[in-house]
Chains A and B, each alone.
Chain A
Amino acid sequence: MTEPSTSTEAPTEGAVATRAAADTVANAEATPVKEQPYAALGLTAGEYQSIREILGRRPTSGELAMYSVMWSEHCSYKSSKQYLRQFGSKTTEKMRKNLMVGMGENAGVVDVGEGWAVTFKVESHNHPSFIEPFQGAATGVGGIVRDIISMGARPVAVMDQLRFGAIDHPDTARVVHGVVSGISFYGNCLGLPNIGGETWFDPVYQGNPLVNALSVGVLRHEDLHLANARGVGNKVVLFGARTGGDGIGGASILASDTFSAGGPTKRPAVQVGDPFAEKVLIECCLELFRDKLVEGIQDLGAAGISCATSELASNGDGGMFIELEKVLLRDPTLTAEEILMSESQERMMAVVTPEKLEGFLAVTAKWDVETSVLGEVTDTGRLIINWHGEEIVNVEPRTVAVDGPVYDRPVAYPSWIDALQADSASRLPHAETPQELRAEAIALLGSANLASKDWVTNQYDRYVGGNTALSFPDDGGMIRVDEESGLGFAIASDANGRYCQLDPYQGAKLALAEAFRNVAVTGATPVAVSDCLNFGSPENPEVMWQFSKAVEGLADGCLELEIPVTGGNVSFYNQTGTQPIHPTPVVAVLGVIQDVADRIPSGWQDEGNNIYLLGVTRDELDGSAWAGVIHDHLGGHPPIVDLSAEASLAALLHAGASQNIVASAHDLTDGGLLQSLAESVLRFGVGARVWISEIMQRDGVDATTALFSESTGRVIVSVPREDDVRFQGLCEGRGYPVLRIGVTDAALPALEIQDQFTLTIDELRDVHRGTLPEHFGAVVGY
């Protein structure tokens, strides 16, 4: 351990003897024609020219560093901004009503009642996680958690949305082991329960895995903090870990570029995480908030000090003066430009009034958190940064942080999409005998994307905090917010890249519908959305078309359901060479439940409960797991989405939960009815007898379709016999299609599909649990 130091002076260590002469503003004015490495920093010639025009001179090397990271795709949203505006424009009064903080801040904040608010956000850490899976994934968790802290909230849960290459590809295990252990290491050390998430395998992610991280925090309304620097004379304080040479240019070089074979290794651009420093930082921040010692606060993530100073100044009174040599360094040889760009983890920047500075420093000292006062808020309208007494940055902060370039990238309807959509799964042969159907069921249950993810989730702490009411394998995670009243939230995230490849507009709506349904089956009421939009290169017009359609679909869907998008993240350049990933818009839906005691589990526990299927089954096998696993096929049109039906279904489930007449509820999605039935059996090891003849008859479908179709708006619920009449009345009253399709049977160690086949629980368990351990190693206890 290093001794903590609290410094308002320049650090004496880190001798300045070797310091290179900085490129000062005076020097920039004196040498207007100097050649500058803007292209190596990721800026285009046009962008460089704009910077010169804004400044009326060439930028100093420090200014160039700041503009290059802040104008990167990752930080500026320059290709996506014009589309993302829909999330703000397609809203209603109802959607805005409970939104305390919307898009543009570190994370959105939603009023959940009783004086409580919830903040949540999902963010990508894709490229670092491929280069250095452990650190990339670990710091992905760290980054999103700091976004949550900077709103004034206590982080209370995390979950991750992971997409890997083919499960049997030789490189996949490297990435899987690294990413899962990185998340496990960092999240577990922070004491945040991991309550859900997704793990997918598909060759399209082989050279570009997706590692998205989501965090949720809770706060009292009065504790809300924002990232702004107000009050002339207030101090600008940097605290947390020291600044090092890690992650330099992470946002501009890694996150905003495409991997190319044979290029130089980009490993130094990946940050290194220290969860202990972050855990201490969390507790320290919460104490600072509690004692009201902070005016404004911002975490340091992508673009580090460049981002924090320019954003805080832009959102506040507009002026700031910083003495950069006061930054505490891990490596004393860092140049001013490197300090401005470093993405070292576990750092925060706060704005503190001079009267409260002493109290502030006492709290950071208590937690052994190193702190340095860098400068203060001014009324100059300029962000001025000095380096050992010389001015190296003098900019209008908005030109760095807010008014970056905006691109209207060319959009082109993909040349291949008509042929893909014309190639429907309807031409694929269906099983002709119960034996064939049984074999398909087993193949699906053990397929990489439908198999149990216990190998992953058993490495995560789901208990810490003592408020976890639901976690995997249930459809949504649920956390109690208030121990007295039982108020809580539920959260689920989803994205099906196969559907989005077929139709990005529908695919995004399908992701929304599924996440919405996954929250609804817990008994909670969905209230808000966050997203992480993972796409290929925006410079590819066909990718830009996919992006525009997905955003439109998501915005339209949210408008129809009347739940707002509160914030999110865009990750472009997810491709290998010229081959983009399937569009993967991860959609997270947050729900509220008045008392978590009313929550509904996903599986059967009791003997003799009736099993009902809510919703209708259509011939919708295009893009399904069945088409992919059994026939290696992807084509046609994804299932229809009826969001008003989803809303009715959610209301029905909420009523069932609050009247305590639904014993379990499980969403139907990838793999269809059979998958949900199998998971409901496996949840607590209670068998069932099920018949599908009435589904086939009512909906005019065959057995393959009844079992494997992925039609939306469907849920299986189990209902105790004594509540049967009330439950049926509930469905009839709301006009929602319902069929009794079976009964739970605790004495039957099997899932019996009458007239078709039987799978014993042991068989189901072996098939469902076996796949991941076969590739990645044993799970304890299996």
Chain B
Amino acid sequence: MQIGVITFPGSLDDRDAQRAVRLAGAEPVALWHGEHDLRGVDAIVLPGGFSYCDYLRCGAIAAHSPIMSEVIDAANAGMPVLGICNGFQMLAEAHLLPGGLVRNDHGNFICRDQLLRVENTTTAWTTAFEPSAEIVIPLKNGEGGFIASAEELARLEGEGQVAFRYLGVNPNGSMNDIAGVSNARGNVVGLMPHPEHATEPGFGPDTAAAMRSGVDGLLFFTSVMRALVESA
């Protein structure tokens, strides 16, 4: 099973996403933003970073990279796509996901271990979670405030497209504490926290059991592997 990770100019967590894919038991495939080629992968991750240094708006320029036309076609055909942080911003800019991301309400970049609740366990990237599972995933961004019109927000809530919600602390002023959303079909998911940084014991968030032992992010990748097997 092959999961592609696209590198854009300014992508930062691309190698980390590749590692997470490998740790979950799939084969990571490096994809390049400038090529019209998905190399036959079964699913796609748009990694975190500062593509084009957030010029214009976060993710706005990357959303028009050559490879994005293939990504949009594949997503519309049902291929699982995960956008992490800057990847989420790109998916929103490419209109594959609803809403938009704005500057954190407090104005600063914030890095913290963030408690989330999984609100929808039927998307391609969340089936391995227990319903309403509470998970800890590192968050690190400057522009993570989720916004949408009142109408759209009501629709997202009503149709179960809110995939993740911040618990305890809303770290950036996101509406309805929304940390991540999916498209209506559930194959495209985006979130601001970084699941790929909670996949390897020793390098994840702290847990009560041991320092840096949190691996809640692994289930994103095992979910998609399960979804791919089921759809095959």
B93-117 vs A, CB cutoff 8 Å, 1 = contact: the mask equals: 0000000000000101111100000
- Residues A548-571 near B (CB distance < 8 A): none
Do A1 and B194 touch (CB < 8 A)? no
Residues of A within 8 A of B61 (CB): 1
Given contacts A465-B16, A466-B196, A605-B210, contact A780 B112 (CB under 8 A): yes
CB within 8 Å of A: which B182-232 residues? 194, 196-197, 200, 202-203, 206, 210-212
**B-binding segment of A67-75, A455-463, A500-508, A700-708:** A455-463
| B-chain residues with CB within 8 Å of residue A466 when the two chains form the complex | 13, 15-16, 19-20, 196-197, 200, 203
Question: B48-56, B68-76, B120-128: which one contacts chain A?
Answer: B48-56
Stretch at the interface among A103-111, A275-283, A419-427: A275-283
Q: A458-B111, A466-B196, A601-B211 are in contact. Are A188 and B53 (CB under 8 A)?
A: no
Q: Is A413 interfacial (CB-CB < 8 Å)?
A: no
A469 at the interface (CB under 8 A from B): yes
| Mask of A579-618 contacts with B, CB within 8 angstroms, 1/0 | 0000000000000000011000100010000000000000
CB distance from B201 to the nearest CB of A (A): 9
**Contact of A306 with B by CB under 8 A:** no
A279→B12 contact, CB < 8 A: yes
In the complex, the answer to whether A469 meets B50 with C-beta atoms within 8 Å is no
Residue pair B53, A191 in contact (C-beta under 8 Å): no
Chain B residues with CB under 8 Å of A457's CB are 111
Q: Known contacts being A184-B109, A458-B111, is A280 close to B202, with CB within 8 Å?
A: no
Q: Is B160 an interface residue (CB 8 A)?
A: no
Prevailing SS type, chain A contact patch = loop
- Is the CB–CB distance between A461 and B202 below 8 Å? no
| Bound-state Cα–Cα, A483 to B202, Å | 12
The CA-CA distance from A275 to B196 in the complex, in Å, is 23
Asked if B140 and A463 sit within 8 Å, CB to CB, the answer is yes
A276 touches B110 (CB 8 A): no
Question: Mask for A375-397, Cβ within 8 A of B = 1, else 0?
Answer: 00000000000000000000000
In the complex, what residue of chain A is closest to B18 when comparing beta carbons? A466
In the complex, A756→B110 CA distance in Å?
A: 39
Size bracket, chain A contacts: 35 or more
A716 to B171, CA, bound (A): 34
Given contacts A275-B50, A280-B9, A781-B171, contact A462 B111 (CB under 8 A): yes
Verify B50–A189 contact, CB threshold 8 A: yes
Q: Does B138 contact A (CB under 8 A)?
A: yes
In the assembled complex, the Cα of A460 lies from the Cα of B141 at a distance in Å of 9
**Smallest CB separation, A601 vs chain B (Å):** 5
CB–CB B9/A367 < 8 A: yes
**Closest CB of chain A to B62's CB: distance in Å?**
12
Contact flags A178-209 to B (C-beta < 8 A → 1, else 0): 00010011001111000000000000000000
Q: How far is the CB of A161 from chain B (nearest CB, A)?
A: 20
Q: Would you give the shortest CB distance from A151 to chain B, in whole angstroms? A: 21
Most buried by B among A181, A279, A461: A461
Q: Total contacts A to B, CB within 8 angstroms?
A: 101
| Distance in angstroms between the alpha carbons of A607 and B212 in the assembled complex | 18
CA distance A188 to B109 in the complex (A): 9
Residue in A1, A188, A780 whose CB lies within 8 Å of B169: A780
* Cβ contact within 8 Å between B13 and A467: no
A188's partner among B16, B50, B194, B197 (CB-CB below 8 A) is B50
Contact of A459 among B10, B52, B108, B200 (CB under 8 A): B108
Residues on A with beta carbons closer than 8 Å to the beta carbon of B194:
463
How far is A464 from B13 in the complex, measured between Cα atoms in Å?
A: 6
**When the two chains form their complex, are residues A460 and B206 in contact, meaning their CB atoms are under 8 A apart?**
no
Which residues on the B side are within 8 Å of A469 (C-beta)? 202-203, 212
Shortest Cβ distance from B198 into A: residue: A463
**Does A407 belong to the interface (CB within 8 Å)?**
no
How close is B47's CB to chain A, nearest CB, in angstroms?
10
With A459-B110, A468-B203, A780-B112 as known contacts, state yes or no: A1 contacts B196, CB within 8 Å.
no
Closest CB of chain A to B104's CB: distance in Å? 8
Q: Indicate which residue in B12, B169, B211 contacts A781 across the interface (CB closer than 8 Å).
A: B169
A274 and B53 form a contact (CB under 8 A): yes
Q: Please name all residues of chain A whose beta carbon is closer than 8 Å to the beta carbon of B112 when the two chains form the complex.
A: 458, 780-781
For B138, the chain A residues whose CB sits under 8 A away are 463
Q: How far is the CB of A738 from chain B (nearest CB, A)?
A: 24
Does residue A619 face the partner (Cβ distance < 8 Å to B)?
Answer: no
A778 within 8 A of B: yes
Residue of A nearest to B203 (CB): A466
Question: A-B pairs with the 10 shortest C-beta distances?
Answer: A191-B12, A276-B53, A466-B16, A781-B169, A189-B50, A463-B197, A601-B211, A461-B140, A184-B109, A780-B171
Footprint of A on B, CB under 8 Å?
9-10, 12-13, 15-16, 19-20, 34, 48-50, 52-53, 55, 61, 106, 108-112, 138, 140, 142, 168-169, 171-172, 194, 196-197, 200, 202-203, 206, 210-212
User: What would be 27 A-B contacts, judged by CB atoms less than 8 Å apart?
Assistant: A1-B55, A188-B140, A188-B142, A189-B50, A190-B12, A191-B13, A191-B49, A275-B50, A276-B52, A276-B53, A366-B34, A367-B9, A458-B110, A458-B112, A459-B109, A464-B12, A464-B13, A466-B13, A466-B15, A466-B20, A466-B197, A466-B203, A469-B212, A597-B202, A778-B106, A780-B172, A781-B112
